[in-house]
Amino acid sequence: MSKQRADSQRKNDKSEKLQKILANAGLGSRREIEKWIADGRVSVNGSIVQLGERATDKDTIRVDGRVIKIMPSEEVYTRVIAYHKPLGEVSTQKDPEGRPTVFDKLPRTSFGRWISIGRLDINTTGLLLFTNNGELAHRLMHPSYQVERKYAVRIHGEVTDEMLKNLKDGVLIDGDMCQFNYIQPGGGEGANQWYEVGLSEGKNREVRKLWQSQEVDVSRLIRIEYGPVELPKSLSRGRWMDLNEEQIKKVADLVQLEVKPRKAQPKPSSSKRKNIWKKG
């Protein structure tokens, strides 16, 4: 760090650690950004920086040579939106095959970028959360915080008590022990039965793989909750809505993170959602 910048920072009590500034800008988690700094990818006012250095919104911060727009700390807020993912959308920002993505219909952010809190595969519908706070997204997805996800799942095939016991006790899948926290019957007819299940890690296609381990097929899968957030009943497929200040604080408290929620909320674009337990 140059002596001039160090003197400037000592005079400016609004300076913050770089990893916090860049996480607030929605670039990633603090842990990810610390690695970028250690790898020499971050510069301030033209100089490559080291871990522990600080900056302000007046400094020119670059990552991989690209200037990052930094908001004054008093203007930084956390925004979280709930999105009702329909069938056929992929959970990536861009798709090489040109398929629609879950990011296509999201609103613009005033700063940073939208980060998806977990993913849903192309054949799964339901609740997806997005935030502009990289640290919040990281913690909500990290296995150490054990944030529960709940799903409505329709099974095609006979389900026995022994199968349900196996799924709750644990099944070895791809070298990892996987299990549901709970399983509740949700009705249905004949070979098509609905269940509500919960798990706390959300590995890739884990719900489907667990049921497939018992030699039954998943014909429909809907995420209905992520942590304390339920899929809003008023939110139709392909629509989004903002979480309010109380909801955002509840989500952040779950992973022991202090945030400043966005206060002004736009009106949601939504319509009444059909019953997720619909037969057929």
**DSSP conformation letters of 36-76:** HHHTT-EEETTEE--TT-EE-TTS-EEETTEEPP---GGG-
**Rounded (5°) CA angle 267-77-131:** 70
- Structural domains of the chain ordered from first start: 3-73 (3.10.290.10), 80-254 (3.30.2350.10)
Residue 73: the pLDDT is 74
Q: Which of 57, 59, 121, 217 is catalytic?
A: 121
Residue 263: the pLDDT is 65
**Residue at 199: amino acid letter:** L
The size of the chain, in residues, is: 280
What are the distances in angstroms from CA 223 to CA 20, 68, 81, 161, 231?
31, 34, 15, 24, 8
Is residue 174 among the annotated active site residues? no
**Residue at 90: amino acid letter:** V
Q: CA 197, CA 220: separation in Å to the nearest integer?
A: 13
Each residue's pLDDT expressed in tens, for the chain with a length of 280 residues: 444 455 444 345 578 889 888 887 878 888 889 999 999 999 999 999 999 899 988 899 999 999 988 877 777 889 999 999 999 999 998 889 999 999 999 998 877 789 999 999 999 999 999 999 988 999 999 989 999 999 999 999 889 999 999 999 999 988 889 999 999 998 877 778 999 999 998 788 899 999 999 999 999 999 999 999 999 999 999 999 999 999 999 999 999 999 988 765 444 444 444 443 433 3
